Amino acid sequence: MTGPLPEPTGVAAPMEGPIDVSPSCPVPLAPGGLVQLGHGGGGRLTAQLVGRLVPRFGDPELARLADAATLEVPAGRLAFTTDAFVVQPLAFPGGDIGSLAVYGTVNDLAMMGARPLALAAAFIIEEGLDLAVLDGVAVSMAEACRRAGVRLVAGDTKVVERGAADGIYVTTSGIGCIPPGVEVGPERARPGDVVLCSGPIGVHGIAVLSRRAGMAFDVDTCSDAAPLHELVTAGLAAGEIHALRDPTRGGLAAVLNELAGASGVSITVEEEALVVPGPVAAACEMLGLDPLSVAGEGCCVALVHPDSADAVLDAWRAQPVGAQAARIGEVGEGPATVRLRTRLGAHRPVLVPTGELLPRIC
């Protein structure tokens, strides 16, 4: 320090003392207003923004506003994942960016056989966003957390200038506990495994596209976004599941190719066994899309030991989210390829989608 601190002037002039942003004393919610750049500066406005969001979640660890949340965990294997959500539009039939961000991350944990333990959320907010929109996203996330039985324990908010983002982006990270004895992974599929799919495909993608600016069309379907960890737990209890994956971006075509590549096996899918809801099939035909390449957010595929396949299928069908579960194919020796056996008995390759496909579906 070479001299006295300059007296504070200008934009950084401090004007307020400590404020209480604990959930028991939330900063009163203004009825409206817009997000300002100052909400991202780390000062009083940031505290107000945080004080507005945190009470929505009702979690004491989140409300502690420490640099990191602390949690007791049992010894063992932990699953850890992160996903950025940039879906456009922010709300769509059956959900919004908030519920999607919760279920998407819960499901990434579930695909490793983990029970979700806690989530963290980071918001990148565009200056000028209506605070009511932000409130709505937080309420939706909190409701999704309750439905999934998971806590949101840590968060972060940043604000960027108008034009430097598109409303709001939400990145959710999650940790979960993998029960002892559970061993699933994309590289564990074996020839002879049965391919199960827990529900209809392509639903989320079509629901979002139906509300996309410049593309809006009427479709009698809602996003299937839903937490899948109960389904996974029931399936793991019922049989020997080798690999799990939820066909989100890139759809069934992408995830089956990823599984085939990771395990060095071939996969054959029966067209007749796939559950493609009528509105999804019709929208795909209209748009020139392959339903196999369209994202879902509430179904998953499992590659299961053949002796267990019926038991897993029964366990899945006993759950609402798995009511339409079906055996859709089987795993053979490598090389790594995926093909579809059509209704006419012909085979066509199922390839990794290319091109622009469906950006900002999640």
Contacts (Cβ under 8 Å, ≥6 apart) of 360: 86, 87, 88
Judge contact between 231 and 322, C-beta under 8 A: yes
| Options 260, 301, 309, 321; binder of a second copy; rule CB under 8 A | 260
The smaller minimum CB distance to a second copy, of residues 25 and 216, is found at 25
Site string for a second copy, 101-140 (x = CB under 8 A): ------xxx-xx-x---x-xxxxx----------------
Long-range contacts of 47-52 (CB under 8 A, 24+ apart): 47/19, 47/21, 48/19, 48/21, 49/157, 50/21, 50/155, 50/157, 51/19, 51/21, 51/26, 51/27, 52/26, 52/27, 52/131, 52/134, 52/135
191 binds a second copy (CB under 8 A): no
Q: Segment 30-59, which members bind a second copy (CB under 8 A)?
A: 36-38, 40-47
Shortest Å distance, C-beta 274 to a second copy: 6
| Options 29, 160, 222, 311; binder of a second copy; rule CB under 8 A | 160
Residue range at the interface with a second copy (CB under 8 A); choices 190-198, 212-220, 305-313, 344-352: 344-352
Shortest Å distance, C-beta 312 to a second copy: 18
Tokens of 143: 């409701």
What distance in Å separates the CA atoms of residue 6 and residue 215, rounded to the nearest whole number? 56
Judge contact between 219 and 287, C-beta under 8 A: no
Pair type for strands 326-332 and 266-270: antiparallel
324 binds a second copy (CB under 8 A): no
Q: Segment 211-240, which members bind a second copy (CB under 8 A)?
A: none
Shortest Å distance, C-beta 232 to a second copy: 11
| Measured CA distances, 60 to 27, 74, 123 (Å) | 17, 20, 20
Query: What is the residue type of 167?
Result: G
The smaller minimum CB distance to a second copy, of residues 4 and 31, is found at 4
181 binds a second copy (CB under 8 A): no
Q: Segment 61-100, which members bind a second copy (CB under 8 A)?
A: 64-86
The smaller minimum CB distance to a second copy, of residues 64 and 311, is found at 64
What distance in Å separates the CA atoms of residue 262 and residue 186, rounded to the nearest whole number? 6
| Options 57, 103, 169, 316; binder of a second copy; rule CB under 8 A | 169
Site string for a second copy, 262-301 (x = CB under 8 A): x--------xx-xxx-x--xx-xx-xxxxxxxxx------
End-to-end CA distance of the chain: 49
Judge contact between 62 and 145, C-beta under 8 A: no
| Options 164, 215, 237, 323; binder of a second copy; rule CB under 8 A | 164
